[in-house]
Structure 1
Amino acid sequence: MGRLIAISNRTAADPKARAGGLAVAVWESLKATGGCWFGWSGELVDEIPRGTSVYRDEGVEFVLTDLTHDEHESYYLTYANRVIWPVFHYRLDLASFDSEAFKVYSAVNQRLANMVADRLVPTDTVWVHDYHFLLMGDALRHAGWEGPTGFFLHIPFPPPEMFSAIPEHHWIARALCAYSVIGFQSERDRANFERYLVDQCGGEAHEDGRISVFGTTTRIAAYPIGIDPAGFVEAAHSPVADRAAERISRFLGGRELVVGVDRMDYSKGLPQRFEAVGQFFDDHPDLHGKVSVTQIAPPSRSKVEEYQELRLELDQLAGRINGDHGDLDWIPLRYLARSYSREELAGLFRIARVGLVTPLRDGMNLVAKEFVMAQDESDPGVLVLSQFAGAAEQMQEALIVNPHDRHKVADAIHQALTMPLEERQTRWRKLRDIVVKQDIAWWRNNFLRDLEPAIPA
């Protein structure tokens, strides 16, 4: 394999962005192959830029382009985040279909593809990431690139009847099939895409995971993304983590900690989670003053109206729960709408008795895996996990819940708090083994191994 070429909306150009997730896996492969990472610079300009920003760091070349204000509005805010994001998270009611925005989305994909193609050599392998670049494989073909091109979708893929609600669904599907390999977070996501191609596009699925459709054959498979387990264990025992754990311990005063950490996004099920917390305190007055719930939810995409409404709803729910159940010396639900560092979060996970990971829909959700790795084997906490997170396919030893059922989530919180030590340890060891075995390197290697057969000899 020659150079690995990565394409994503945002890159790890900032060294601080290389601490976890996608950046860890891609960065190591880029360094090993002297690769190149293409993406958005983060800057907005008035006119389409003629040039790019290019620089090298640790042998990796970054090629970044600015977006115009119109591109950012139409490609990013409107089409990617008001069409693709809600539909792919099963929220047709929040989608705002816009054919003009799709034209800009397509144009940005082609503009970046042209930028990439100009720097490619025949021995390169291209790896494209996420929903911002659904059309990139096809755009690269139009730009003249014929080499191996893989795509990984980090968010869910919806059922065919939902995906086909997008007016441009056929165009998107045809463009996706220009990729040599298409990767999904879960088997459910892979099956949804296969069913769409077979039922609505006349595709033929082969036993080896390939599918023939639109006059081409591509491989589709599930590659559940992992974390860097050893790195997160180290983060959980860092001085920063120790200070964070000490700070919240002073507030807890010996109470059990239930913790949730999510971006403020409607896909995360935060209102439903707050309602379940309220139900838990309704059902268990004997635990008043003995349990404290902390929810960290840094705002995201604050310019999008749906997120502004979510923030208001969470403010109101938290106020009602604390008004109903709180006391002079006890706040049942601490809701913090701000960001904390990876090490600080690891410190909170380490001392938590319960981790709440209850999205309404999620591609994977790495918080679930981070919570597990932060735990102390001698006295581990319990993970409460939504059945609709991609992580649920791997992490069956968690307490699996339906996030729409506040009574069952409340029961799961109580079960976690009262679970005997031996059962907690047994569940935790099985979860830890999965997270360690199927880590970020395992994910990367599995994907690139399947992409290698598409590389010319």
Structure 2
Amino acid sequence: MSRLVVVSNRVAPIDESKQTAGGLAVAVLAALKKSGGIWFGWSGTVLDTDASPTEPSLHQVGKLTYATQDLCRRDWDEYYNGFANQTLWPLFHYRPGLLSVSRRTMEGYDRVNAIFATGLAPLLRPDDMVWVHDYHLIPFARNLRDKGLGQRMGFFLHTPFPAPELLVVVPNHRDLVRDLCAYDLVGFHTEVDLRCFANYIRYEAGGEVEPLGPGQGMLIRAFGRQLLARAFPISIDTPALESVARTAARSRHAERLRESLVGRRLIIGVDRLDYSKGLPQRFEAFEQLLVSFPEHCNRVSFLQIAPPTREDVPEYVSIRRALSELAGRINGNFAEFDWVPIRYLNKSFGQRVLAGFYRLAHVGLVTPLRDGMNLVAKEYVACQDPEDPGVLVLSEFAGAAHELPEAMIVNPFDSEGVADALQRALTMPLEERRERHAAMLKTLRANSIGHWRESYVDALTRAPYA
């Protein structure tokens, strides 16, 4: 059996007891433990030196080698804060007005990918399979190919992939797609993302696209390469989360939340504090609910959990300030002496605590402006009581909407439409709630995180070489 070599911007903690269940880390670890291999990436350490080291630190745990590489401050700033998160992140989330482009950060992005490739190359065996994750590392395979390495290499994009008309906004768009074509397999969350990639190949790169049938992806010929591109919708560990939720509903945190509601219904949102999540629009939609359906005043509470992220990026400082002001205004207009409409928390909670909160919530409100998948939507469904489930209100621009059509699908830019969906969710009869939830849960059980991992690795094993 070939070893699997996973490459990601960050490596999960070497002390596995510090990890939470679910998510990419667990899926990757399960694959690595099965085949043996390497998990390679940035250590999270930023050094006050003039240059980043070119050799990784190695730590062996059973058949798994953790290989982590430090970065100097300049490299971290230009690669991570710069091109990855101030150019690619807004571009891939359809926010061109927020992106910043400079030759300095583009060069830093390429330089760090080259440093990483130099660090990994000596560790590879001829029959290894290399699985690279996300937008930080698009040029990684090309750097390995330039060193003469011919191992099977796959890439999975965890964000949306933009339409060609948007992608061409960045000056190096052709280089980015050329670099993607250095892989043997390129995976996306949805067929929409796959179609956007194929359209670029056809109409911008002058390549060839050969559809292979429903769910089988497309054979791509471009830039002197042949590769497979396919959709692999990522998911969650549904059975494990169902089990956690059953007991978490009786936890101390869940009991405190239940008591604080004093019989009121709960709407919950859980997101990183990011402009792609549509949080200002979500707050305005909840305000519209109270305006249009005043019977919910003092009877419904909205809990929004939004832990800060990327606090060095100016756009994130701005959105945090805007949300605090918006929550304050709405609460000031509608609050009573014994009720605050919006509970807005800038802190994170562990998965068990969140599972208990999801179980209590009558509505899960997941309304990103654009999202690759959004696993919160799936987690909310998995945590519900099948006998008395809540209702998922889900943005049509989240990848999860393609798999969960039984949710209340909404346009997050339409605050009145979202308010109407919230009204319907809060008043939906039990039988309809059960039917919708059962259909979504069936989908989640059939397409677990393990299925995602195994289907991708199997496709990489069989992907055509150039």
Question: Normalised by the size of structure 2, how large is the TM-score?
Answer: 0.96
Contact 2:226 2:464 in 1 (8 A): no
Q: Counterpart of 1:316?
A: 325
Q: Quick one: structure 1 residues 18 and 118, their matched pair in 2 at CA, closer, same or farther if it must change by over 3 Å?
A: farther
How many equivalent residue pairs?
A: 456
Q: How big is the shift at 1:322?
A: 0.6
Q: Counterpart of 1:126?
A: 130
Of 8, 25, 28, which residue of structure 2 is paired with 1:26? 28
Q: How big is the shift at 1:96?
A: 0.3
Mapping of residues 394-433 of structure 1, within 5 Å: 394-433=403-442
The reply to whether residue 200 of structure 1 matches residue 209 of structure 2 is no
Q: How big is the shift at 1:261?
A: 0.2
**Deviations, residues 50-91 of structure 1 (Å, cap 9, x unaligned):** 432111224311000001100111000010000000000000
Q: Counterpart of 2:44?
A: 42
The 3-state SS of whatever aligns with 1:25 is helix
Letter in 2 for 1:162: L
Q: Report the Cα distance in structure 2 between the residues aligned to 1:240 and 1:117, rounded to whole angstroms.
A: 48
Contact 2:248 2:254 in 1 (8 A): no
Contact 1:12 1:18 in 2 (8 A): no
The 3-state SS of whatever aligns with 2:166 is helix
Letter in 2 for 1:33: S
Letter in 1 for 2:285: A
The 3-state SS of whatever aligns with 1:24 is helix
Q: Counterpart of 1:13?
A: 13
Of 349, 360, 385, which residue of structure 1 is paired with 2:358? 349
**Deviations, residues 236-261 of structure 1 (Å, cap 9, x unaligned):** 23458622210111110010010000
The 3-state SS of whatever aligns with 2:19 is helix
The 3-state SS of whatever aligns with 2:394 is strand
Query: Higher mean Cα deviation, 98-107 or 48-57?
Result: 48-57
**Deviations, residues 76-111 of structure 1 (Å, cap 9, x unaligned):** 001000000000000000000011111111011111
Query: Higher mean Cα deviation, 393-402 or 244-253?
Result: 244-253
The 3-state SS of whatever aligns with 1:293 is strand
Of 439, 442, 445, which residue of structure 2 is paired with 1:436? 445
The 3-state SS of whatever aligns with 1:450 is helix
Q: Counterpart of 1:303?
A: 312
Q: Report the Cα distance in structure 2 between the residues aligned to 1:162 and 1:222, rounded to whole angstroms.
A: 20
**Deviations, residues 357-391 of structure 1 (Å, cap 9, x unaligned):** 00000000000000000000110000000000000
Q: How big is the shift at 1:149?
A: 0.3
Letter in 2 for 1:420: P
Unaligned runs of 5+ in 2: 213-217
Letter in 1 for 2:223: F
Q: Report the Cα distance in structure 1 between the residues aligned to 2:60 and 2:246, rounded to whole angstroms.
A: 32
Mapping of residues 48-447 of structure 1, within 5 Å: 48-208=52-212, 209-238=218-247, 242-447=251-456
Contact 2:389 2:433 in 1 (8 A): yes
Q: Report the Cα distance in structure 2 between the residues aligned to 1:68 and 1:210, rounded to whole angstroms.
A: 39
Query: Higher mean Cα deviation, 284-293 or 13-22?
Result: 13-22
Q: Report the Cα distance in structure 2 between the residues aligned to 1:256 and 1:304, rounded to whole angstroms.
A: 36
Contact 1:241 1:346 in 2 (8 A): no
Q: Report the Cα distance in structure 1 between the residues aligned to 2:332 and 2:269, rounded to whole angstroms.
A: 20
Question: Normalised by the size of structure 1, how large is the TM-score?
Answer: 0.98
Contact 1:55 1:62 in 2 (8 A): yes
Letter in 2 for 1:286: E
Q: How big is the shift at 1:396?
A: 0.2
Q: Quick one: structure 1 residues 180 and 57, their matched pair in 2 at CA, closer, same or farther if it must change by over 3 Å?
A: same
Q: Counterpart of 1:4?
A: 4
The 3-state SS of whatever aligns with 1:39 is strand
The 3-state SS of whatever aligns with 1:128 is strand
Q: Report the Cα distance in structure 1 between the residues aligned to 2:65 and 2:464, rounded to whole angstroms.
A: 22
Q: Report the Cα distance in structure 1 between the residues aligned to 2:288 and 2:147, rounded to whole angstroms.
A: 56
**Deviations, residues 156-183 of structure 1 (Å, cap 9, x unaligned):** 0000011111110001110110000000
Contact 2:5 2:128 in 1 (8 A): yes
Contact 1:49 1:66 in 2 (8 A): yes
Alignment RMSD, CA only?
A: 1.2
The 3-state SS of whatever aligns with 1:155 is coil
**Deviations, residues 396-454 of structure 1 (Å, cap 9, x unaligned):** 00000000000000011110000000000000000001111111111111111111124
The 3-state SS of whatever aligns with 2:105 is helix
The 3-state SS of whatever aligns with 1:201 is coil
Q: How big is the shift at 1:203?
A: 1.0
Letter in 1 for 2:29: W
**Deviations, residues 306-327 of structure 1 (Å, cap 9, x unaligned):** 0000001100110111111110
Q: How big is the shift at 1:301?
A: 0.4
The 3-state SS of whatever aligns with 1:271 is helix
Contact 1:147 1:455 in 2 (8 A): no
